[in-house]
Amino acid sequence: MMSLVLLAEQVLNGLQFGVMLFLMAAGLTLIFGVMGLINLAHGSLYMLGAFAAASVAAATGSFTLALLAALAAAAVAGVIVELLIIRRLYDRDHLDQVLATFALILIFSEGTRWAFGSFPLYLDIPPALSGPVSLPGGIDYPLYRLVLIGAGLLIALGLDLMITRTRIGIRIRAGENDREMTAALGIDISRLYTLIFALGAALAGLAGALVGAIQSVQVGMGEPVLILAFVVIVIGGIGSIRGALLGALLVGLTDTLGGVFLPEALKLVTDPASAKAVGASLASMAIYILMGAILIWRPTGLFGGRA
């Protein structure tokens, strides 16, 4: 019974991690699907959101204002970067895109270190959302993490509705399929691109702020998340929002459950000390092994149609 409670807790942790990864992956996959751009600097926007939230929360004490600041800061930074640099890269090959966005990471990371110093900032969970909540089955689980899961799933639903049901969604899908034809029908393609980039940036900034309240806010925090978001996209298939959600949940659950249960499972076959060490090493590799397996099975990802 005890282990069942533990299992339920870890599944919730995995879901929470997964939906936050989704917020990152959704923007990345949209930007790649529509504009054909690989954006390494997406993690910097995540970091920027977290720093904006932590500073505004420290100044005003309001978590709501902090979240709004994160959204605004990341979206504005997204628009500026898109107008100045990113739009010159759409016609370039992936190598140029990788290098230019790698350069952006250097600028954003060192710029943030220059402005805020190397010490981490902290963002407090608002009082209304702090503390545990009792779930059926005798599980006490932090309310804030439950709210994150709910918020992430709501955003996923909203994005899906936006893409499939609204006029802007139709334009996004049209831009994904045929850029020239869409432009010929009188849609301002470059404005659409700026909008999509800003939307992706805002989602990343929001994720950074939300996660910033349960981790420390520091320079470089976006990069591990960025690489995991890439794994999510490889698993889910480029350009697919649904694929991103499924991939994010798979990666979140694999990472969290692997970290807890692999060392436990190895204790059955070897001594506790080496089970802990080997289990931790294996757990850190689990999601990449998952990615490799899915690649062998479906090279373009679960929802990906084309290479």
Partner 1 sequence: MSREAQVNLAVVVALVLLPLAAHLMGESYWVTLATRAAVLALAGVGLNIALGQGGLVSLGHAVFFGIGGYSMGILAYHAQTYTPLIESFGLPGTNLMPVIWLVAAISAALAALLIGALSLRTTGVYFIMITLAFGQMFYFFALSWPTYGGEDGLSIYVRNRFPGVNTLAPIQFYGIVIAVLLLALLLSHRLARSPFGLALAAARQVPARVAAVGLDPQRLKLVAFVLSAAVTGLAGALFADLNRFVSPTMFSWHTSGEIMVFVIIGGVGRLMGPVVGAMVFVLLEHLLGGISEYWQIAFGVLLLLIVLFARGGLIGLVAGREKAHG
- List residues binding partner 1 (CB under 8 A): 32, 38, 85, 88, 94-96, 98-100, 102-107, 109-111, 113-114, 223-224, 227, 230-231, 233-234, 238, 277, 280-281, 283-285, 288, 291-292, 295-296, 299-300, 307
Looking at the Cβ atoms of 50 and 100, the one nearer to partner 1 is: 100
Per-residue three-class SS string for the chain: CHHHHHHHHHHHHHHHHHHHHHHHHHHHHHHHHHHCCCCCCHHHHHHHHHHHHHHHHHHHCCHHHHHHHHHHHHHHHHHHHHHHCHHHCCCCCHHHHHHHHHHHHHHHHHHHHHHHCCCCECCCCCHHHCCEEEECCCEEEEHHHHHHHHHHHHHHHHHHHHHHHCHHHHHHHHHHHCHHHHHHCCCCHHHHHHHHHHHHHHHHHHHHHHHHCCCCECCCCHHHHHHHHHHHHHHHCCCCHHHHHHHHHHHHHHHHHHHHHHHHHHHCCCCHHHHHHHHHHHHHHHHHHHHHHHHHHCCCCCCCCCC
CB of 103 to partner 1, least distance (A): 4
Q: Provide the minimum distance between the beta carbon of 98 and partner 1 in the complex, in angstroms, as a whole number.
A: 6
Beta carbon nearer to partner 1, 123 or 232: 232
Nearer to partner 1, 96 or 140 (CB): 96
CB of 300 to partner 1, least distance (A): 7
To partner 1, the closest distance from the beta carbon of 100 in angstroms equals 5
Q: Which CB, 272 or 292, lies closer to partner 1?
A: 292
Can you tell me the distance from the alpha carbon of 140 to that of 132, in angstroms, rounded to the nearest whole number? 6
In the bound state with partner 1, the residue whose beta carbon lies nearer, of 132 and 299, is 299
CB of 163 to partner 1, least distance (A): 20
Cβ closer to partner 1: 161 or 277? 277
Question: Which tokens hold the place of 74?
Answer: 């990341």
Task: Select 141 or 230, whichever has its Cβ closest to partner 1.
Answer: 230
For the CB of residue 281, give the shortest distance to partner 1 in the complex, in Å: 5
CB of 111 to partner 1, least distance (A): 6
**Amino acid found at 217:** V
Let me know if 162 is exposed, middle or buried by CB neighbors in 10 A (0-12, 13-18, 19+). Answer: middle
Looking at beta carbons only, is 143 or 280 nearer to partner 1?
Answer: 280
Give the shortest CB-135-to-partner 1 separation in angstroms.
Answer: 31
| Backbone phi and psi for residue 39, each to the nearest 5 degrees, phi listed first | -115, 100
CA dihedral sign of residues 71, 77, 81, 83: positive
